[in-house]
Amino acid sequence: MNFITQSNHYQVIVVGGGHAGCEAALACARMGCRTLLLNHYLDNMALMPCNPSIGGPAKGNLVRELDALGGEQALAADASTLHLRWLNTSKGFAVRTLRAQCDLRGYAEHYTEALARAEMLEVYQAMAVSLVIEDGAVRGVIARGGEAFCAPRVIVAAGTYLRGRVYMGLESFSSGPLGQVASLELSGCLERAGVELGRFRTDTTPRICRDSVDWDAIPRQASDPEPEAFSHWSEKRAHSGYFCGVTRTNARTHDIARGSFDRSPLALKSLASPGPRYCPSIDDKILKFPERESHPIFLEPVGRASREVYMQNFSTSLPPDAQLEMIHSLPGCEKARMLRPGYGIEYDYVKPTQLEPWLEARAARGLYFAGQICGTSGYEEAAAQGLIAGINAALASRGDEPFVPERWRGYIGVLLDDLTSRGVDEPYRMLPSRCEHRLIMRHDNADDRLARMGRDIGLLPEERWNRVELRARQLDEERERLRGLRLPVTEALNEKLRELGSSPLAEPAPALALLSRPEISWDELAAWTGSGLAPELGRKIEIETKYEGYAERERRRVRRVESMELLRIPERLNFGDIGGLSAESREKLTRTRPRTLGQASRVPGVNLADIQLIQVAIARTRGEKEAAS
């Protein structure tokens, strides 16, 4: 591990060593910036305070895209995977993705080793308590104890630590997640700098001892048997030896919870900040959906050397005695021993409409924010923001233009645009439904969409880019071969087609045309045509062939909106001077300062008539500039 040197001057300082902070620091260092990562406790780098899982619907797409750009999270997940499954396999390929249950220590160790190998990076244990901001620009960071570190760019990735407060029943106390020390001073510094903060909450579940669960009494989920990996660069592996159990709440569970609502911070509204809608606590579910008789609970491993079991879907802020009684009401958990109680945590976040799409604050040049501090939830959302903030801090150090993936380019683009254009009124979670172009932004084609960008900005190593090019050539060659190959009519082939529920051939047919049939898989076609292409690449051809008509329609949609997305709004354009705009539109546009007409169209409250007025104002402003020059 690299430690602080004689000089305290850096190009970039990253505050916080969680998923966002680690990705940001690695990106800056790998792009050639002298970088300092400050974390209040070095032993909790890349901490997984909630469920140690990576991926899932939409989140898995973020991980793949991050990997294609040159990020680290997919590799960390692959290095620590205990249990791996494909999700949404009954649905279309556009929403299928991986979810890994990870060894939380192995995951953190992977990041720690990656940080240690980064030549331009130093890591130092210190609690940042203040930022130095002069003349509207950040100059550095001051740590508790008075140490000062100078840099013209600072990335704050403080997670849920800012004025963090933990709730368990009627008890509450200052704390970060899992008993970590809360950051109490930095929020005030941000407010004095003109950064507007809000307050959110989240919850985590009790953990129980693996040996105290009756596993024979509940169903088990094993890993998928086929070798797989998150990263484009990892060797695919099959995983065994670990499984997840499935149990359910029941009437008794719900009665215990209701009987404890007189000690519930949620029911009593002492914990009143908005929480995650798409990952509600069991308390929330019982309060808001009293008609539901049962909720599924997944019992998931957390590490190779740990006896802990994470109770997915069972987060709570009820008092510990009520939690234990509820646990004992669950099938298979009648004698379970609780190792850690669940809790609710409330924390400050930065309202993200104050940020540029590249995550730089408008309140101070060179100040970036990334991760849960921006109002998001989830390790994947945090890592994606960290990567983007790190890339842009490094590009700013070079004097280059910011990097912002377009909304149609990937889920990362959707995430950035949603946060900075629309803002948040609850912890933001990435979902497939948020992405209107998901047919062309699939798990399988992240490298096609983003790897060249990663290489061009200097983050994706040349060796990995060469592998992307090699795969692209192999795919092109195999497509051409299959287009030109006509399968003859034989009784054996027609019999196989009938078995698969597909129409027999009346005349020779192009091999690629057969693959467009829903019931014909790549494995069948490869057997009939003698293809030697790697199965992963073959399945990519299968997806593209089956989706081609839908994907082409989606690409036409993108081309129609691209002109709006690329039409820049001049910085000098004053929305207050545009006649006809409503007071609400003026206020929201002035606050969010959209960069493009497309981004302006997604600001809540802005309608089509407003967009037409803005378009006219853009043309007029550009005309005045040309006339003046």
Taking only the tens place, the pLDDT of each residue in 154-196 is: 999 999 999 999 999 999 999 999 899 999 999 999 999 999 9
Q: In 175-278, where do the E strands start and end?
A: 197-204, 207-209, 220-222, 243-248
- Which pair of tokens denotes residue 523? 């494995």
DSSP tally for the chain: helices H, then strands E: 19, 23
- The two beta strands, 171-174 and 308-312, are unpaired
Average confidence (pLDDT) over 404-423? 94
Q: Which residues pair with 124 in a beta bridge?
A: 38
Dump pLDDT digits (tens) for 440-488.
Answer: 999 999 999 999 999 999 999 999 999 999 999 999 999 999 999 999 9
Give the strand pairing for 296-301 and 154-156: unpaired
- Other CB atoms within 10 Å distance of the CB of residue 219: 12
CA–CA separation, 354 and 330 (whole Å):
45
* pLDDT at residue number 3: 37
pLDDT at 563 (0 to 100): 78
Amino acid identity of residue 441, one-letter, is: M
DSSP secondary structure string for all residues of 512-544: HHHHTSTT--HHHHHHHHT--S-HHHHHHHHHH
Q: What single DSSP character describes residue 50?
A: S
* Pair 96, 89: CB distance under 8 Å: yes
DSSP string, 360-374: BBSSSBTEEE-SGGG
Alpha-carbon span 338 to 447, nearest angstrom: 43
Residue 6 has pLDDT above 70, yes or no: no
Handedness of CA 497, 85, 278, 20 (dihedral sign): negative
What are the phi and psi torsion angles at 259 (to 5°)?
Answer: -70, -10
CB atoms within 10 A of CB 515: 22
Structure tokens at 570: 């001049």
Element containing residue 492 per DSSP (H, E): helix 491-499
What's the rounded Cα separation, in Å, for the pair 444 and 535? Answer: 12
Alpha carbon distance 202, 273 (integer Å): 9
Tokens at residue 589, please? 């546009």
- Asked whether residue 626 carries a pLDDT value surpassing 80, the answer given is no
Q: Report, as an integer, the average pLDDT of 272-296.
A: 92
User: Can you tell me the distance from the alpha carbon of 377 to that of 314, in angstroms, rounded to the nearest whole number?
Assistant: 17
Is 70 exceeded by the pLDDT of residue 230?
yes
Contact predicate 151/140, CB 8 Å: yes
Locate 360 and state its tokens: 């730089």
Alpha helices in 43-151 (DSSP H): 59-69, 73-80, 104-117
Task: Note the residue count of the chain.
Answer: 629
* Residue with more model confidence, 35 or 437: 35
The answer on pLDDT for 130 being more than 60 is yes
Domains of the chain: 12-203+347-462 (3.50.50.60), 207-343 (2.40.30.260), 484-552 (1.10.10.1800), 567-628 (1.10.150.570)
Token match 């081609």: residue?
548
This prediction's pTM: 0.92
C-alpha 196/C-alpha 317 separation (Å) is 27
**Contacts for 232-235: CB closer than 8 Å, 24+ residues apart:** 232/64, 232/67, 232/68, 232/74, 232/446, 232/447, 232/451, 232/464, 232/467, 232/468, 233/67, 233/75, 233/464, 233/467, 234/74, 234/75, 234/78
pLDDT above 90 covers a percentage of the chain that reads 80
